[in-house]
Structure formats: structure tokens, C-alpha cells
């Protein structure tokens, strides 16, 4: 057995084989990340079974490019630290408009590839990201009604959409995005995971649509928008009466393309309520290793997840 495998097993002693292989690959690309990985897998809520499921998905999505994906995670960690430095100094995110994010991030295909690859691994390496995905699978989806029509706006890699499409209660799933490259990413994920992709459409959320859904996933989109309140109003209108939404946005989470800063979870809850949605459940998942109290005290990132319902 190689030293790298031994090291990976030491970092996460209870981890399954896919998790161990991913840690091993990450350690090869980014040995300085060992302390962070140790901290992440020492957490009591690092459910090894869910982590292993997620690691298996990531491994299949990355495929033969796993080493490059691990390199890209290293790059992402550096990019996030740069944004963190700006945020701590200035008390705001660097970018303030969608046009800036489009010019600097979204229109740069090479940048986007690295960014998305890095974020793929963050689903496992960042405890708050894993917690949100687990809550979606274990808490949100089981309360959908049988035969639910599910929409995801901005499906990213497609991990949430894959879970929703695979859920027995979902009769139809679909994904909307404004970026053809993002939809290609979702197609790749479904192909890698051996499932036919659901209908995926180039749709701007802000344009009127006659469709309505029983379930909407809106994860890590609000912080990318100039008008999050308007977006939530659209989510409300797209829900059928009694329909449910899974809304996830981070507070104090500087990143290269985040433009709207939420300073407290309560600010996001108020925004959701203000859109006419009834907040039913709330998950606050602080950044890896931080207690909620510490995250609030030092303005650390907190993934704020709301399960809401359209009342009328």
C-alpha cells in the first residue's frame, strides 16, 4: 500500500474507499491542505456513508481528469483566499454587478472550468456544502408529494438535480440555466452517473413563464444576482399552490463571482418571507469546523438553507 493511501486513511479513518481515493488524489495535488482535510473528517457530522456516496459521484464525474480536478481545487482555494482578504479588509464583496462577474468569470471558459472543477470537490471538502446536499436528500425530498414536478434553477454540476430526478416521488424533473456551458455540465454529470438527463432549457428566470412546479431547488444562486428579491418573487410565482422550495444561499462567503452580500442568515429568511413564501424549516451550516456561535461572532460563512412553501 502506498504512503499516500496510508496518509489518506489516517486523515479519515472511517472513510469508505471512494472517499479515501479522493483524499489521496487531493493530497497529491495539494499536500498543504492536509490540516483542513483532517479537521473536516474529524467532525462528528461527517457521516461516512453519505460522504462515501458523494465521493463516488464526484469520482465518476471527474473520471480520468481527477488529478486535474484536484489541481483546480487547489487553485480555487487560493482564489477564495484572495477574495477573503478583500472581504476582511473592505467589508464587502469585490464585485457588485452581474456584468462584472460575466466579464471576469462567466465569459472566461478556462476560468469557469477550473472554478467548477474546484467547486465539485468543495461539495465533499467543505462541511457546509456536504451538509446542505445531505439535507436536500434526507429532509427536503422525502416531504415532496408523490408525482411532484421538480425544477432546479441554476443546477450547477447537477448533483442536486440528479438526487431529485432519482427520487421516487419525482414524476418530472427539469433544469433551467442562462448558460449553455452550465447545462452541458449537467448533461455530463448525468452521463457519468449513468442516468438519462432530464429536460434542460436555456431559460432566464426573470422572463415570464406559464409553467408551475410542485418543487423548486434554488441553491447558491441568490448571491450571484443583483436583484435577489425579484428572483424569489419569481420562485414564488413558479410554484404551484402548496408547492415547496429549497432555497440555499451563503452569508459572508466571498468568492470570485459573488456580488450580493448577505451578512446574517436572518437577512435571507426575511427576503424569502418578503417574497410571500412561508418559511417552514431552516438549516444553518457554518463553514468547516466552526460552531454557529463562532461563525456569527466572526462573520464566517454560513450556508443558510430554507424550506419554504407557497401558501395560496
Is residue 84 near another protein by the rule CB under 8 A?
Answer: yes
Phi, psi of 246 (to 5 degrees): -110, 110
Question: Using CB under 8 A, which residues numbered 88 to 117 contact another protein?
Answer: 88-89
| Between 92 and 294, CB nearer to another protein | 294
Phi, psi of 47 (to 5 degrees): -55, 110
CA nearest neighbour of 114 among 159, 160, 58, 70 = 70
Is residue 4 near another protein by the rule CB under 8 A?
Answer: no
Separation between Cα atoms, residue 229 and residue 268, nearest integer Å: 10
| Between 56 and 256, CB nearer to another protein | 256
Among residues 43, 49, 67, 81, which is the contact residue for another protein, using CB under 8 A?
Answer: 81
Instruction: Report the nearest approach of another protein to the CB of residue 216 (Å).
Output: 31
Say if CB 70 and CB 29 are below 8 A apart. Answer: yes
| Between 84 and 172, CB nearer to another protein | 84
Among residues 85, 107, 191, 292, which is the contact residue for another protein, using CB under 8 A?
Answer: 85
Is residue 31 near another protein by the rule CB under 8 A?
Answer: no
| Between 185 and 288, CB nearer to another protein | 288
Is residue 35 near another protein by the rule CB under 8 A?
Answer: yes
Instruction: Report the nearest approach of another protein to the CB of residue 32 (Å).
Output: 9
Pull the grid cell for residue 1.
500500500
Among residues 287, 303, 304, 308, which is the contact residue for another protein, using CB under 8 A?
Answer: 287
Instruction: Report the nearest approach of another protein to the CB of residue 3 (Å).
Output: 20
Size of the site for another protein (CB under 8 A): 16
Among residues 212, 289, 296, 309, which is the contact residue for another protein, using CB under 8 A?
Answer: 289
Among residues 7, 36, 112, 143, which is the contact residue for another protein, using CB under 8 A?
Answer: 36
Say if CB 140 and CB 307 are below 8 A apart. Answer: yes
| Between 79 and 134, CB nearer to another protein | 79
Q: How far is CA 189 from CA 106, 110, 122, 152, in A?
A: 19, 19, 16, 15
| Contact region with another protein (CB under 8 A), list: 15-23, 135-143, 144-152, 282-290 | 282-290
Among residues 4, 9, 28, 39, which is the contact residue for another protein, using CB under 8 A?
Answer: 39
Q: Which strands sit side by side in the sheet containing 239-251, from one edge to the other?
A: 200-202, 170-177, 148-153, 213-219, 239-251, 302-310, 277-286
Beta bridge partners of 284: 304
| Between 126 and 246, CB nearer to another protein | 126
| Between 36 and 233, CB nearer to another protein | 36
> Residue 220 — left, alpha, or beta (φ > 0 → left; ψ -120 to 50 → alpha)?
left
Is residue 281 near another protein by the rule CB under 8 A?
Answer: no
Say if CB 199 and CB 186 are below 8 A apart. Answer: no
Separation between Cα atoms, residue 33 and residue 12, nearest integer Å: 13
Is residue 77 near another protein by the rule CB under 8 A?
Answer: yes
| Between 79 and 306, CB nearer to another protein | 79
* Residues near another protein (CB under 8 A): 35-36, 39, 77, 81-82, 84-85, 88-89, 287-289, 294, 298, 300
Amino acid at each position: 500500500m502506498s504512503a499516500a493511501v496510508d496518509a489518506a486513511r489516517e486523515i479519515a479513518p472511517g472513510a469508505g474507499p471512494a472517499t479515501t481515493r479522493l483524499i489521496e488524489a487531493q493530497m497529491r495535488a495539494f499536500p498543504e491542505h492536509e490540516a483542513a482535510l483532517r479537521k473536516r473528517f474529524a467532525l462528528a457530522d461527517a457521516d461516512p456513508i453519505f460522504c462515501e456516496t458523494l465521493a463516488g459521484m464526484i469520482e465518476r464525474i471527474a473520471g480520468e481528469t481527477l488529478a486535474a480536478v484536484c489541481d483546480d481545487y487547489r487553485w480555487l482555494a487560493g482564489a477564495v483566499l484572495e477574495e477573503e482578504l478583500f472581504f476582511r479588509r473592505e467589508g464587502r464583496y469585490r464585485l457588485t454587478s452581474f456584468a462584472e462577474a460575466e466579464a471576469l468569470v462567466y465569459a472566461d471558459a478556462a476560468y469557469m472550468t477550473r472554478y467548477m472543477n474546484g467547486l465539485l470537490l468543495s461539495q465533499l471538502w467543505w462541511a457546509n456544502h456536504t451538509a446542505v446536499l445531505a439535507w436536500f436528500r434526507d429532509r427536503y425530498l422525502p416531504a415532496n408529494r408523490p408525482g411532484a414536478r421538480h425544477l432546479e434553477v441554476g443546477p450547477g454540476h447537477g448533483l442536486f438535480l440528479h438526487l431529485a430526478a432519482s427520487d421516487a416521488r419525482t414524476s418530472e424533473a427539469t433544469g433551467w440555466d442562462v448558460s449553455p456551458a452550465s447545462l452541458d455540465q449537467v448533461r455530463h454529470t448525468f452521463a457519468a452517473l449513468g442516468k438519462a438527463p432530464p429536460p434542460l432549457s436555456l431559460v432566464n428566470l426573470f422572463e415570464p413563464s406559464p409553467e408551475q412546479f410542485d418543487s423548486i431547488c434554488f441553491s447558491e444562486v441568490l448571491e450571484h444576482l443583483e436583484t435577489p428579491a425579484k428572483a424569489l418573487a419569481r420562485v414564488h410565482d413558479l410554484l404551484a399552490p402548496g408547492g415547496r422550495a429549497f432555497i440555499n444561499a451563503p452569508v459572508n462567503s466571498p468568492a470570485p463571482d459573488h456580488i450580493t452580500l448577505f451578512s446574517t442568515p436572518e437577512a435571507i429568511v426575511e427576503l424569502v418571507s418578503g417574497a410571500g413564501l412561508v418559511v417552514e424549516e431552516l438549516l444553518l451550516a457554518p463553514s468547516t469546523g466552526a460552531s454557529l456561535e463562532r461563525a456569527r461572532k466572526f462573520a464566517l460563512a454560513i450556508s443558510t438553507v430554507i424550506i419554504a412553501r407557497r401558501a395560496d
